[in-house]
Amino acid sequence: MPAGSATSYRKEQARWRRREYRRRCVVAVLVLLIVAVVCAIGLMTLSDASPDTHVIFNNAGEALAAGAGL
């Protein structure tokens, strides 16, 4: 194998590694942004909700009083 082809292979491999690293970084940043936006939307939705109309556990007080929660 000529010395020139080994050098070109190493250069091309280094370029490919840089592209792959950059692609992975971009994907990681996009995932973080999507998660942050979804969390922010969820928090805004929860903070705007009225505590009187949105009930997560129906009849939770009655179930605890009856001993079902123990």
Residue spans per domain, the chain: 3-65
Q: Does the predicted TM-score (pTM) go above 0.95?
A: no
* CB atoms near residue 63 (< 10 Å): 13
Cβ-based neighbours of 69, under 8 Å, separated by 6 or more: 60, 63
pLDDT tens, 5-64?
889 999 999 999 999 999 999 999 999 999 999 999 999 988 887 766 656 666 656 656
pLDDT for res 6: 84
Residue at token pair 């001993």: 67
